């Protein structure tokens, strides 16, 4: 019977073409939007992990309460020993020290007098150690606009936007004004080795990247760090694994009564990230529900129109002795086949576009230029195994539901009316 119904669908395109197109379009949108939104949220998560929160983060308990102020007077002491212990306890993760600071970036003229000044956000990261992954993790080589990476102590990278605004060239000197870990004034001069543009306002406005050892000297933070970040070696955030690591660390080393004791937090505990990840996790189900409802309504109407056109066909089949429930079942089987065909076509189209968006991405740097949030400048889709089957859920269910609702018209056919129609 399935073979017979399939032949009917193929040969009578007037009754199957429109439903197949509707299903294919709905499934295409479901698959593509699921992959695209999943990719966008993953990019946002990855960007925040690489630059801000890591997969897990170790800070002092007091620092965590005032993290928005980057309070280096509450920084981690004996950071090298703590990092070494973390590498022993959790060898499946990569651990890095970072220093965050803020202040004014001063640009002197040829006489050493100030000719320009602007607010700066300083980041001390491992730029000079052989084999350091920090440079690649922050995508610094691809973000350099002018110059090159620092090659020795005393060199730094500044944002290209700041350099253009104050006419700073590679090789010029800039001075970072701020306060040390102990609260005294800090004046540290750096040679500009290059300029950076990440395509993100938060990173591009007044940023200065220096080697962490330079930052420790400038801020009187010898063997200290603002934070120690941990990353899973495969680069993918695993919340269950992060939860185990954080719980284990806090049980061993964190003392609630000591505000300077270290504590570990997960990526999802960073501001707002839990909500982002929850949305990303559930976006596929949300898309499926939306399109099941929408397509069911459309296919219900399509089924009603098709039922009117096939009114005589159903009448003849009833007159030949076919039972109403058998006719109803065949329309359901027919709907399942149409749903599978339309879902297959829509899934292939959705996967093709999602793969292209994963490869090339959508450059939105012009749209996020003035947004003060950590957002990626290029949005990419993500092709996951889920996309290969997620479209069949709304495609088949909506088609069957629409045909089921429209098929009730079969039971309304009355035998007396049927013979009257046949006599006419």
Query: For residue 27, is it within any domain?
Result: yes
Give the pLDDT confidence score for residue 117 in this predicted structure. Answer: 87
Residues 406 and 282 placed together within one structural domain of the fold? yes
81, pLDDT greater than 70: yes
Local structure of 266: helix, strand or coil? strand
Query: For residue 183, is it within any domain?
Result: yes
12-16, 28-32, 86-90, 180-184: range with highest mean pLDDT: 86-90
Residues 157 and 109 placed together within one structural domain of the fold? yes
284, pLDDT greater than 90: no
Query: For residue 337, is it within any domain?
Result: yes
Residues 135 and 8 placed together within one structural domain of the fold? no
Residues 37 and 61 placed together within one structural domain of the fold? no
Residue-wise pLDDT for 37-66, tens only, equals 888 878 878 888 888 888 999 999 999 888
**Residue that is last in its domain, among 234, 265, 298:** 234
Residues 220 and 368 placed together within one structural domain of the fold? no
Give the pLDDT confidence score for residue 329 in this predicted structure. Answer: 80
- Collect all residues with Cβ–Cβ distance below 8 Å to 260 and sequence separation of at least 6: 60, 61, 62, 74, 77
Query: For residue 265, is it within any domain?
Result: no
Residues 24 and 96 placed together within one structural domain of the fold? no
**Residue that is last in its domain, among 170, 202, 234:** 234
Residues 101 and 229 placed together within one structural domain of the fold? yes
Q: Are 115 and 166 in contact (CB under 8 A)?
A: yes
Residue-wise pLDDT for 323-382, tens only, equals 777 777 877 888 888 888 888 999 999 999 999 988 887 776 666 555 545 566 677 888
Residues 194 and 284 placed together within one structural domain of the fold? no
Query: For residue 260, is it within any domain?
Result: no
Residues 161 and 185 placed together within one structural domain of the fold? yes
Give the pLDDT confidence score for residue 8 in this predicted structure. Answer: 57
How many residues in total does the chain contain?
A: 424
Instruction: Give the CA distances from residue 150 to residues 2, 111, 118, 164, 228, in Å, rounded to whole numbers and listed in that order.
Output: 69, 25, 22, 19, 22
Query: For residue 212, is it within any domain?
Result: yes
Name the least confident of 84-93, 224-233, 324-333.
324-333
Residues 327 and 355 placed together within one structural domain of the fold? yes
- The burial of 79, by beta-carbon neighbours within 10 Å (0-12 exposed, 13-18 middle, 19 or more buried), is given as buried
Chain position carrying tokens 């119904």: 5
Output the CA torsion 222→246→268→255 (10° steps). Answer: -70
Q: Could you give the number of structural domains in the chain?
A: 2
- The predicted model gives 113-119 an average pLDDT of 84
Residues 182 and 148 placed together within one structural domain of the fold? yes
Name the least confident of 61-70, 228-237, 294-303.
294-303
Residue range of the domain that includes 10? 2-47+275-423
Residues 67 and 211 placed together within one structural domain of the fold? yes
* Angle at alpha carbon of residue 340, lines to 337 and 343, rounded to 5°: 145
Query: For residue 253, is it within any domain?
Result: no
Query: For residue 291, is it within any domain?
Result: yes
């Amino acid at each position: 019977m399935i073979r017979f119904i399939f032949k009917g669908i193929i040969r009578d395109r007037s009754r199957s073409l429109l439903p197949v197109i509707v299903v294919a379009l709905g499934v295409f949108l479901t698959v593509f939007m699921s992959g695209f939104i999943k990719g966008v949220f993953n990019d946002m998560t990855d960007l925040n992990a690489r630059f801000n929160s890591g997969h897990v983060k170790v800070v002092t308990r007091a620092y965590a309460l005032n993290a928005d102020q980057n309070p280096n007077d509450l920084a981690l002491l004996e950071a090298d020993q703590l990092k070494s212990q973390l590498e022993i306890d959790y060898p499946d993760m990569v651990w890095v020290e970072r220093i965050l600071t803020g202040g004014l970036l001063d640009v002197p003229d040829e006489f050493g007098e100030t000719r320009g000044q602007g607010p700066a956000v300083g980041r001390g990261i491992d730029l000079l150690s052989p084999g350091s992954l920090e440079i690649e993790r922050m995508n610094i080589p691809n973000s350099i606009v002018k110059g090159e990476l620092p090659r020795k102590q005393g060199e730094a990278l500044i944002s290209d936007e700041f350099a253009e605004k104050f006419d700073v060239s590679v090789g010029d000197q800039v001075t970072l004004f701020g306060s040390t870990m102990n609260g005294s004034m800090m004046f540290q001069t750096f040679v500009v080795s290059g300029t950076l543009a990440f395509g993100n306002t938060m990173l591009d406005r007044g940023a200065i990247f220096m080697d962490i050892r330079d930052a420790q000297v400038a801020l009187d933070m010898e063997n200290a760090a603002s934070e120690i970040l941990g990353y899973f070696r495969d680069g993918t955030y695993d919340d269950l694994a992060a939860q185990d690591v954080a719980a284990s660390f806090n049980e061993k080393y964190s003392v609630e009564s000591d505000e300077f004791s270290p504590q570990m937090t997960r990526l999802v505990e960073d501001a707002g990230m839990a909500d982002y990840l929850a949305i990303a996790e559930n976006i596929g189900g949300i898309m499926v529900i939306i399109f099941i409802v929408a397509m069911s309504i459309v296919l219900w109407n399509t089924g009603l129109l098709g039922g009117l056109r096939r009114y005589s066909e159903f009448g003849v089949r009833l007159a030949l002795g076919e039972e109403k429930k058998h006719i109803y079942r065949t329309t359901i089987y027919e709907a399942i086949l149409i749903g599978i065909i339309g879902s297959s076509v829509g899934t292939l189209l959705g996967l093709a576009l999602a793969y292209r968006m994963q490869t090339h991405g959508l450059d939105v740097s012009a749209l996020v230029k003035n947004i003060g949030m950590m957002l990626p400048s290029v949005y990419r889709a993500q092709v996951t195994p889920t996309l290969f089957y997620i479209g069949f859920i709304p495609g088949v269910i909506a088609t069957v539901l629409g045909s089921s609702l429209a098929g009730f018209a079969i039971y309304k056919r009355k035998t007396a009316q049927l013979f009257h129609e046949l006599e006419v």
